[in-house]
């Protein structure tokens, strides 16, 4: 399939991730007294990835995340020459989703934007966690996310279950870290809402590019060096692995 079509799939899928995940946080987390809470938001993010992995995994690999794209390239599961088109598509999808969410949320009388599901550290961390704590959390969690992605799409792994493992992993990541950073592990997801909030959300956005990308590279390299048994050049791409999900 052409790079354009695969990039469009990434844009479409990232839109769903941000709209579903951040939308659950903005519209439903505390509605008005009986909301879905942290657990509901965590599940929503996981479900967006699970549904899109089954829908688009066989088309683009369903990265939906610059840290995953770069990590998979570091792990030799994705061609480096296609990194930029994928990331551009992911960011466009995230921004479009955030804009759509803004139009919906602002339609409620008296609505105040507030944090708008942005990520932050220090005073902008939900629990007031320091920059160092937030950096460590994002690096470690993204590293394990890549480990799960590469392991579940390995040729030795049970066929057809990768989307479930990846979706549940993202749910767990959110259950751990919503109080810390509001959970990023995804630079595109962080960028979309930050562009609408501005201020500190934008000035702190650098962390949510640097930490997830660093974590993604670490996780991919750890898996490739210590756990992969496939010969150089023989690794399955994530698209190939996801294609078995429907078999």
How do the pLDDT tens digits run along the chain, 247 residues long? 899 999 999 999 999 999 999 999 999 988 767 689 999 999 999 999 999 999 999 999 999 999 999 999 999 999 999 999 999 999 999 999 999 999 999 999 999 999 999 999 999 999 999 999 999 999 999 999 999 999 999 999 999 999 999 999 999 999 999 999 999 999 999 999 999 999 999 999 999 999 999 999 999 999 999 998 765 444 556 776 666 665 5
Specify the pLDDT at position 33. Answer: 72
The answer for residues whose C-beta is within 8 angstroms of residue 60's C-beta and 6 or more apart is 6, 7, 9, 10, 13, 86, 239
Question: Which of 244, 167, 242 has its CA nearest to residue 9?
Answer: 242
Helices then strands, counting H and E runs in the chain, come out as 10, 0
pLDDT at 35: 81
Contact by Cβ (8 Å): 17, 64: yes
Q: How far apart are CA 162 and CA 170, in angstroms?
A: 12
- pLDDT score at 232: 47
Determine the Cα–Cα distance for residues 105 and 31; give it in Å rounded to an integer: 12
Please report the DSSP string for 142-200 in residue order: HHHHHHHHHHHTSTTSPTT-HHHHHHHHHHHHHHHHHHHHS--S-HHHHHHHHHHH-TH
Q: Give the per-residue pLDDT at 246.
A: 53
Query: CA–CA distance from 83 to each of 28, 31, 87, 100, 235 (Å)?
Result: 34, 39, 6, 26, 18
Cα 230 off chain centre by: 26
Question: Is the Cβ–Cβ distance between 181 and 120 less than 8 Å?
Answer: yes
| DSSP code of residue 246 | G
The per-residue pLDDT for 245 is: 60
Dihedral Cα 21, 24, 30, 31, nearest 10 deg:
180
* Separation of alpha carbons 88 and 74, rounded Å: 18
Length in residues, the chain: 247
- DSSP labels, 143-159: HHHHHHHHHHTSTTSPT
> How many CB atoms neighbour CB 37 within 10 A?
12
The residue behind tokens 């460590």 is 136
């Amino acid at each position: 399939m052409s790079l354009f079509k695969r990039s469009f799939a990434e844009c479409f899928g990232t839109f769903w991730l941000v709209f579903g995940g951040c939308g659950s946080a903005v519209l439903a987390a505390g509605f008005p007294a009986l909301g879905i809470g942290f657990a509901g938001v965590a599940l929503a993010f996981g479900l967006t990835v699970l549904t899109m992995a089954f829908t688009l995994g066989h088309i683009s690999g369903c990265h939906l995340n610059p840290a995953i794209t770069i990590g998979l390239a570091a792990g030799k599961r994705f061609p480096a020459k296609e990194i930029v088109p994928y990331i551009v598509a992911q960011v466009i999808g995230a921004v479009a989703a955030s804009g759509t969410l803004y139009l919906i949320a602002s339609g409620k009388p008296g609505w105040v934007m507030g944090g708008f599901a942005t990520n932050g550290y220090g005073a902008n961390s939900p629990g007031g966690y320091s920059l160092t704590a937030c950096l460590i959390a994002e690096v470690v969690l993204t590293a394990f996310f890549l480990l799960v992605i590469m392991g579940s799409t390995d040729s030795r792994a049970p066929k057809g279950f990768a989307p479930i493992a990846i979706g549940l992993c993202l749910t767990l990541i959110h259950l751990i870290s919503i109080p810390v950073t509001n959970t990023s592990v995804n630079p595109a997801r962080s960028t979309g809402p930050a562009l609408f909030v501005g201020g500190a959300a934008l000035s702190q956005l650098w962390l949510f590019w640097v930490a997830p990308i660093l974590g993604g590279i670490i996780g991919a390299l750890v898996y490739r060096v210590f756990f992969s048994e496939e010969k150089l050049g023989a690794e399955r791409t994530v698209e190939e692995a996801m294609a078995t999900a429907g078999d």
